[in-house]
Amino acid sequence: MRSAVAKQHGLDERLVGQLSATDPDLTDAQIAAIDFATALMTDPAGISADLRARLHRHYSREQLIELALDVMKWSYQKVPVALGVDSEVNPGRLTDLVFDDDGNWVRPT
């Protein structure tokens, strides 16, 4: 699924495929955020002192908390996927992720 709001702000599949810490068009702050998201999802105990220093160079305490919560929020599906108990909303294709004004997910029709 892809966030409809992110798509409204310019996210497209080319950009998704391009996003990696080796992309020369990304800023040091963006690379630090990608490295943090990767570490938080794969080995949170292994977040290095170097990565922490890079993050603190670019982000405030509040921004780091928000980034961590966002990564955790969008990673909740990892367990059902790993267990093979997830189901595709629209089998074989990406689905826009849309929320109502109260922040509730609107199931696609």
Question: ∠77-92-75 over CA atoms, to 5°?
Answer: 15
Name the pLDDT band for 102 (thresholds 50, 70, 90): confident
**pLDDT, position 90:** 75
Those residues with Cβ within 8 angstroms of residue 55's Cβ, 6 or more apart along the chain or in another chain? 32, 33, 36, 64
Asked whether the predicted pLDDT for residue 2 surpasses 60, the reply is no
pLDDT at 33 over 80: yes
With contact defined as beta carbons under 8 Å apart, do 106 and 98 qualify? Answer: yes
Residue 76: predicted pLDDT: 77
Q: Which domains does the chain have, with CATH numbers?
A: 2-106 (1.20.1290)
Global model pTM greater than 0.75: no
Structure tokens at 15: 């950009």
Q: What pLDDT, on the 0 to 100 scale, is given for residue 67?
A: 95
For the ranges 28-32, 47-51, 64-68, 86-90, which has the lowest average pLDDT?
86-90
